[in-house]
Structure 1
Amino acid sequence: MAEQESNVIAPDAELLFLGTGTSMGVPTLGCPCDVCASTDPRNNRTRSSIVLRYDDPEGTQRTVLVDTGQEFRMQALRFGVNHVDAVLYTHGHADHVLGFDDLRPLTFGKAANMPLYADDSTADVIERIFDYTFRKKDRYPTSARVDLHRLSDEPGTTIDLFGATIERIPVLHGRHEIAGYRFGSLAYLTDMSDLPEQSYERLQGLDVVILDALRREPHPSHSHLEKSIAIAQRIGAKQTYFTHISHDLDHGPTEDELPKGIHLAYDGLRLPFRIHNSNEAAQ
């Protein structure tokens, strides 16, 4: 009997979780709780950030970073991130931007400045904090060599980045709208308290969705475990991973109670996925 041709499209990209923790990290300073004292390495959570790796049309591997938290330097050293081609920012809070200056050595000696992408409010924060990098007069001579591109917050905004189409997904973070991103068959929606109705329409057909799930109790600016499960089930991705996790959630026991197809992420977890659409991948 002839072997049937598979309709499964092989992954062409990889996501690496550099960090999966909340703004205070886990262990949290001064906290004696069981999770902060845990010996399970999955409970050691640095600030939330991811790296994507995929090939451009010429076959060169590209590395795209999402957010630069306070521990970016240590995360990059731990996981061997020695090259970054571009950075996407979700919003301007400290745990997502304060590692910006550690991009400096990764931008030196390059033919072109490293592109950064952020919406207006986030770009304003970055330019204000790191004024010495962006000011025209008396710019610090060894500042990062970067170009900051401002993204529209209109639904459907996309970036063509090294042959891949990346879509900005509106996300609610308390009373403010921030940026999530869709990368082909995967979406990354950290620091989410809820999703605008229009964003659900842009999250159809996902293999993987990554959502905020801070703790068990409700929080004013982050989704909690029960709510994140409900949002995941409505989105309907094949697999869901929770990130931006506080010390309220012990990895092993929490993982055991989650519905099928829903997991807690952890620092160092790698996920294969498709960054190009099905038609592109099948050609």
Structure 2
Amino acid sequence: MRQLSLVVTCTDRKMARPAPELLARNLPEGNVDHRVAIWDKRLGEVPRSFSLAQLYQGEHWVQVRVLVETAVSAGLSPQLWVASAGLGLQSVSNTAPPYAATFGARHADSVASTRTERTRWWGRLQEARGATTLSELADQGPALLVLSEPYAAAMHDELRAAGQRGDDVLLIGGERDIPGIHRVPANGALRGALGGTLTSLNVRMAASWLKHWRTGRPLVSAETAASWKRWAAAAEHHERYQRTPMTDEEIREFIRTESARNPGYSRTRLHRLLRESGRACEQKRFALLYAATMEE
């Protein structure tokens, strides 16, 4: 069977409660290098460990197991890896204590507050704890990367390197297109066809891609991509939301508050955040109010 390197993001839910020292919120203030060094030391001092296959819980991880089974059914030999803000890139056969660390910007256990800091955290964490790199996996053969936007942003440098080294790398989700990597952006309009929550959507999309793949072809063959696109176009269903209208001043206050809280967020991402919160603002209007607010 052909080997497939399968990389997924970790999940917030663990099988046991982390010790207080392994909550990222309890790291001291300081630069990223200092914080990573302290985090690495703390991980080594907590004795109770589980295999990563056992440690992670929740719907996302249930769907990861389904994805592995789908790869096997497709005639592949999947080797599962986890991209973790607390551990780096690890095989699921490795062990670790329960911990709480994420690249999510609005989480109490976020490891950094800006994109630059998150990218540096990932690089330093990989040097300290990473078992391998995306480039090394891409060198070994086909690689399927299932990454959320915050994690792909933090791993951007490593993704670029993988795109330069591998010739059969597929990214489901992610933050932006990467040269040398075939990317399928997350598509909420497929949730009706694939089921589940938005949390596991990327994993379900990856499983669907493998169902369109045929043995003997590259993972990102033109035939598979065309088959996937035809299916996705037919399966899309754009959900309608009843969002709450906002006044200009309410929108400007939202922009001020969220820009201060998330200084690395673009205008587009702030607009998406507003809409995801159940409030309404047409894109052109938001752009004008954003420009005016940023000039203050």
- Taking structure 1 as the reference length, the TM-score comes to 0.29
How does the TM-score come out when normalised to structure 2? 0.28
Asked which structure has the greater CA Rg, the reply is 2
Structure with the larger helix share:
2
**Which structure has the higher relative contact order (CA within 8 Å, separation 6+)?**
1
